[in-house]
Structure 1
């Protein structure tokens, strides 16, 4: 039986990935910081191991004991805003720990596949849109810097013979997205307004434009990349750009609120020190080589999140 090891198994992508792999008959193992921190959405069939990813030696020993065929590194300090608040943690978790895991996998015998969850934030403020795998890497925040370091290391290990893939993931959402992220903050607050439990939605930059996809689609790209004959870097994106204000409008529309402009305001304290104006990806390589394509449109993604928060 194929065995997979997932870091970040309690997160949005980790829970969807565990479900998908188990449905495919894979023996799934995951790393959790403590047993009581486990998400209720992690399938019971997954075998969980307590540990700290930043303890590189202990993680390497665990990887040797588990002896996986597939390794997915999804663990991260995943908020760009939080990376500004704690850049040291962003570096330790998103870079140093990930590099240690990559080296532990490279030391395993046999044909072991490694998939790194990279990010469009490695492109920083790109000069043109859409971005693809050849776009210059020039991060503008601590999160992007850490992700860029590991993205480069994956390429080095791949050149040395490891089946290592870096997926440059653009924003992807679902009802499992924590409320500290702007998209879920929008949908949960709109739902609260619809119920009469809140009277306004306060955000930062309403004009920032992003490429938003459906999280299970992006997990599908991870599985396809791990099983591909040849490893490579892949942009995973929808190719469509929408503003934060577009997201707000779609959320209020789904909740049945038509007169909402006076319910939304921008607070300068929520603005980031540096924020890309627009990030939108060209996933042509993933389409051509992995047979991957997004399946859920932007408005429906927002709608499903609002529906879940209303429920």
Structure 2
């Protein structure tokens, strides 16, 4: 589902997955969601829609709340209305199974490490707060209406097609650009923050596994290993035989108002109940992303400077 057939995500989706059929819908417009669910009558719904870049959530907190938080209510209401669900006793064969993309950012200022399904939430950004709202909304619709609705508390999941505004892709693009002589430096904020980074493909597999269970439940997915942004930078630049200290510039303006210092997953429940485990770990992931961006920035689309111009503001 996309907000308009001419959106950038629609164009990207057609290129990467030409067999995917696109449907119009807007998480801020209830009627469009009802129409989309009614038209498709899906067996499974994956709500990955959000204003998901944490720094932007500080600049647009109201929009973040509407899309990332209240958008979950609208999606669940669309499912409930189309399926004719009025209570937990409503017959269920026509009910689609619903997946909500919860986030490790909900843990925020962590109460314990590593974090599991029972760790209390303490979000440190409007994005994290909105995700907590969506997470508890899913629990309420599951308990009140008997809907098959689950939340995946996914820790950072990355790939070569990650948005360039996110730090992993910013670093992989930066290392590739410096190596190719397209840039001479990369500007970053807090190098000490630690995250549990994994491969997006592993996590999407986990989403599907959650909806394949007999009973709905919520799960944490992550590798269980945290790395600092500094480690990310060092590894990415070393992958192209460069010393990051010669090229990385620290910029206080890029730091968050309230930082999340450490996120690390305890995915024991998913491992035991789903049989899920990651197959790609940090070092391989970083190398994969840097190699992909070397190919991208060496390609014909960069000969005219198009990609570099688009990314200039990030660097």
TM over 0.5: yes
Could you list the runs of 5+ residues in structure 1 that have no partner in the other structure? 1-30
Distance 1:33 1:260 in 2: 39
Q: Hey, what does 2:45 align to over in structure 1? A: 71
Q: Hey, what does 1:295 align to over in structure 2? A: 279
CA drift of 1:42 comes to 4.2
Distance 1:107 1:136 in 2: 32
For normalisation by structure 1, the TM-score amounts to 0.88
Distance 1:65 1:262 in 2: 55
For normalisation by structure 2, the TM-score amounts to 0.86
Distance 2:95 2:212 in 1: 11
Q: Hey, what does 2:217 align to over in structure 1? A: 232
Residue range with higher mean Cα deviation, 143-152 or 52-61: 52-61
The within-5 A match list for 1:192-207 is 192-207=177-192
Could you list the runs of 5+ residues in structure 2 that have no partner in the other structure? 84-93, 296-315
Distance 1:102 1:218 in 2: 22
1:190 pairs, out of 175, 187, 198, with: 175
For residues 60-106 of structure 1, give each alpha carbon's deviation from its aligned partner in whole angstroms, at most 9, with x where no partner exists: 12212211110000011110011011111111110112211012213
Number of corresponding residues: 280
Q: Hey, what does 1:49 align to over in structure 2? A: 23
Q: Hey, what does 1:81 align to over in structure 2? A: 55
Distance 1:163 1:253 in 2: 46
The within-5 A match list for 1:106-145 is 106-109=80-83, 110-145=94-129
Distance 2:217 2:16 in 1: 29
Distance 1:289 1:140 in 2: 30
Stretches of 4+ aligned residues off by more than 6 angstroms: none
Structure 1 or 2: larger strand share?
1
> Rg: which structure is higher?
2
Is 1:309–2:293 an aligned residue pair? yes
Distance 2:108 2:241 in 1: 36
Is 1:95–2:65 an aligned residue pair? no
Is 1:151–2:138 an aligned residue pair? no
Residue range with higher mean Cα deviation, 50-59 or 213-222: 50-59
Distance 1:42 1:55, change over 3 A: farther
